[in-house]
Amino acid sequence: MTVVFYHRKPQHWHFSLEEYFATVRAHLPEDVRWRIAESSHASRGLWRRAANILEASRRQGDINHVTGDIHYITFGLAKRKTVLTILDCAFEQRLSGLRRELFRTVWFKWPERRVTRLTAISQFTKDRLVALLDCPPEKIDVIPVCVPSGVAPQPKPFASGRPVVLQVGTTPTKNVERLAQALRGLTCDLRIIGKLDEAQRALLAGNEITYTNAEELSREAIVREYERADVVAFVSTYEGFGIPILEGQAVGRPVLTSTVASMPEVAGDAALLVDPYDVEAIRDGLRRLLTDAGLRARLVERGFRNIQRFTPQVVADAYARLYRSLAAGVPR
């Protein structure tokens, strides 16, 4: 059995689905052979996308796995042997009206009809897909993101004098604005990974937040940021998964995250959960993590247990079972 992993033309993100599936492939069993089919064209414009569809149709394997972001190439693939991974349904947050309906139909509903199975990276995403697409739940397997390679426990003394709070991501859902308001008056340094816009910089300055900022870091540099941090703050308002939760737990840092979307599912009992829309709730959570050594120790210990659900081998085994069922023609 040969699985063809279809990837978009390479992009540069902090969390890269290409890196994720590279880790998965490294742990697949020997009976699952694979190759990579990378799109030659960026996913922009009708003609480039049409060329990607045609190219995909010529590169099929025993199983075709579209790994995300280029859902439309399913139009060129054999339905009975194709699986599509959907990372999130964030479009419902950023689009409205006719644009939202058009995107839902072209990017999600039509591709869903062109595959035999879907995978979602969280139960939250699966539930949203069922609701948005009127898709039968049994067609969707939940296979989570695994802890990235190279992320391992790295103990360090807590910097009680001036601890470092790490924030990964600066896009609108990452909630930097409310985090800045919540940190006002707390004794700590904020480290932000991602490109800040002028409004965010002004808000940080207005709340007198001591911070440093870095962007376009390598995977190795990102891991070092977790290792230097004392607390990881990830109070996002929407995530299909929330990989910084696992990265923080894997390194051995206490994590503050949100009560919404997929984040409670990913964090388990190993993070402090707060309402991301409530500045005072975020402030209280941060204050507790900065001052309560016992709480931090409990969360770190639970974090190491929690990440066992997301090891590369666990995730690769789940994909292997899916591929075998498709190859055997097992109905769902």
> 204 and 101 in one domain?
no
Gyration radius (Cα) of the chain, Å: 21
> 110 and 31 in one domain?
yes
Assigned domain for 66 exists:
yes
At residue 148, the pLDDT reads: 86
Assigned domain for 28 exists:
yes
Assigned domain for 154 exists:
no
Question: What CATH number is given to the structural domain containing 319?
Answer: 3.40.50.2000
Position with higher pLDDT, 119 vs 94: 119
> 199 and 135 in one domain?
no
The pLDDT of residue 14 is above 50 = no
> 71 and 25 in one domain?
yes
- Domain region containing 36: 2-146+311-327
> 240 and 229 in one domain?
yes
Assigned domain for 152 exists:
no
> 232 and 131 in one domain?
no
Q: How confident is the model at residue 31 (pLDDT cuts 50, 70, 90)?
A: very high
pTM, rounded to two decimals: 0.92
At residue 208, the pLDDT reads: 94
> 320 and 273 in one domain?
no
> 192 and 258 in one domain?
yes
Assigned domain for 157 exists:
no
> 257 and 320 in one domain?
no
Q: Which residues contact 149 (CB under 8 A, 6 or more apart)?
A: 23, 26, 312
Spatial separation of the C-alpha atoms in residues 189 and 117, rounded to whole Å = 46
Query: How do residues 232-276 score in pLDDT, each as one tens digit?
Result: 999 999 999 999 999 999 999 999 999 999 999 999 999 999 999
Number of structural domains the chain divides into: 2
Three-state DSSP class for residue 211: strand
> What percentage of the chain exceeds 70 in pLDDT?
98
Assigned domain for 155 exists:
no
Question: Stretch 40-60: mean pLDDT, rounded?
Answer: 95
Question: Stretch 11-19: mean pLDDT, rounded?
Answer: 67
> 288 and 317 in one domain?
no
Compute the mean pLDDT over every residue in the chain, rounded to the nearest whole number: 94
At residue 221, the pLDDT reads: 93
Question: Stretch 103-130: mean pLDDT, rounded?
Answer: 96
Assigned domain for 159 exists:
no
Query: How do residues 297-326 score in pLDDT, each as one tens digit?
Result: 999 999 999 999 999 999 999 999 999 999
> 238 and 320 in one domain?
no
Assigned domain for 59 exists:
yes
For residues 116 and 80, the answer to whether their CB atoms sit within 8 Å is yes
Of 132, 144, 47, 42, nearest to 92 (Cα)?
132
